[in-house]
Amino acid sequence: MFRILKKDLQLLFSDRRALLMKFLLPVLLITVFVMAFSGLRDNGGGSRIAKIDLPVADGDQSAATKYMVQKLEASENLHIEPVTEDQALDLVRRGKRVGALVFGKGFSDAYLRQTPLPWRLVYQEGRDMELGILKSVLIPQLIGMDPNGKKEDAPTMTGTQAEGPADYIKNKQLVFEPLRAAKSVSNDPWLVQPVAGIALILLLFNVAGIGGSILEEKESGTLARLFQTPLKPSGLFWGKLLMGVIVSFLQLAIMFLFASLVFGLKIGNNLPGLLLIMLATTFACSSFGLLLAGISKSRGQMQGLAIGVVLVMSAIGGSMIPLFIMPAFMKKIALLSVNYWGLEAFYDLLWRQLPLVQILPRIAVLTGIGLAVTLAAFYLFKKLAATLTH
């Protein structure tokens, strides 16, 4: 028993890089999750939400609406973005913002005449959790706000019950207006999230296995023997990459087909766009698998590194943690993740129903990530080939 224990401990400590990854990974993941959820914590240790970007379209341009916008800008939980109504609707429709506050023309006159107010909160249907957070921040700001620049009295008592915030705002005629995609082809975001999010995580783990096969061939001596044949190292590299893309593409296709047949995921006329996104995503993911193989010196190192990279990218990219609860700096870091661009592209196509031309920039970013990582992986692979042939 003790001999087995001694042998296993010696094997464990013989690969210091693998040992470092084994114990560093939990610390790294804890750090990422704490940083991501720091958007729900303030400096005093209390609970708060991350600052919300709220487009505000002032179609009245009166002293009253300008005063209200100024008061909203003073909120510590809102970042007000002055825009036109068309810009506000476009931001919400494309998923850039959860909602937008629109003041219609004649707001000030309607307030003075005590007639229905021409204002509304336009929001993207399906983002209920984010909308609830936005309402919890915005509505208290509006309560007690007098467009004439005076502090209104608190809500009056009716019978034995005080008028609640929701009723008070309702009396102000704030209209909640959802922007809906075509129901015949639109999908519930809570269906797109698990299908696309989990698919991306599994895809990264699977392509890491392809990179691991290179290290297995290296340790067994197969790779060195292949380099002695007429086969060029570049041919071997591109063959591995193509293998990763094909297998990953088939895996994605099976996952989306299953989701369509079993859970009713609607593809509609989006098949060409879906195929393009799948191709760009599988290319980007496969390149990461080869890069990890180039960085690692053994399968043990590769295993620890792959788990860490995949989980970190999935966490910051939105596959595991909702982006809207993250602080601003974490949202910027998310732009480095394949998961972010892949997930947003699938959202744009399958939920927001955006035309392909508006999704092409995300596809281009995925392709660019794939090219950059592939070049880095190819450089490391050539170094490995030079080492094994001399």
Instruction: Evaluate if pTM is beyond 0.85.
Output: no
Would you state the pLDDT for residue 159? 34
Question: What would the pLDDT profile of 316-342 be if each residue is shown by its tens digit?
Answer: 888 887 777 777 788 888 898 999 999
Query: In this structure, are residues 253 and 281 in contact, taking their beta carbons and an 8 Å threshold?
Result: no
The residue-averaged pLDDT of 125-137 equals 81
Average model confidence (pLDDT) for the chain?
Answer: 80
Would you state the pLDDT for residue 232? 82
What is the band of 12 on the pLDDT scale with cuts at 50, 70, 90? low
- 1 SS3 class: coil
Q: Given a cut of 50, is residue 154 above it in pLDDT?
A: no
Would you state the pLDDT for residue 331? 82
Distance CA(32)–CA(174), nearest Å, equals 39
Q: Give me the DSSP letters along 314-359.
A: HHHTTSSS-GGGS-HHHHHHGGG-HHHHHHHHHHHHHTS---HHHH
- Give 1-10's long-range contacts (Cβ < 8 A, gap of 24+): none
Would you state the pLDDT for residue 164? 42
Specify which residues 102 forms β-bridges with: 57, 120
Highest mean pLDDT among 33-42, 225-234, 309-318: 309-318
Would you state the pLDDT for residue 276? 96
The residue-averaged pLDDT of 225-232 equals 77
What is the band of 343 on the pLDDT scale with cuts at 50, 70, 90? very high
Would you state the pLDDT for residue 96? 85
Q: Given a cut of 80, is residue 124 above it in pLDDT?
A: yes
- Helices 189-220 and 233-263: crossing angle in degrees, nearest 10, is 150
The residue-averaged pLDDT of 118-132 equals 84
- 58 SS3 class: strand
Kindly give, in sequence order, each residue whose CB lies less than 8 Å from that of residue 186, ignoring residues fewer than 6 positions away.
180, 266, 351, 353
Question: What would the pLDDT profile of 33-82 be if each residue is shown by its tens digit?
Answer: 666 666 555 544 444 556 788 999 999 999 888 988 988 988 888 889 99
Would you state the pLDDT for residue 158? 36
Q: Given a cut of 60, is residue 185 above it in pLDDT?
A: no
79 membership: H or E segment, kind and range: strand 78-83
Would you state the pLDDT for residue 364? 97
Nearest to 76 by CA among 58, 106, 49: 49
Q: Which domains does the chain have, with CATH numbers?
A: 15-37+186-388 (no CATH), 52-179 (3.40.1710)
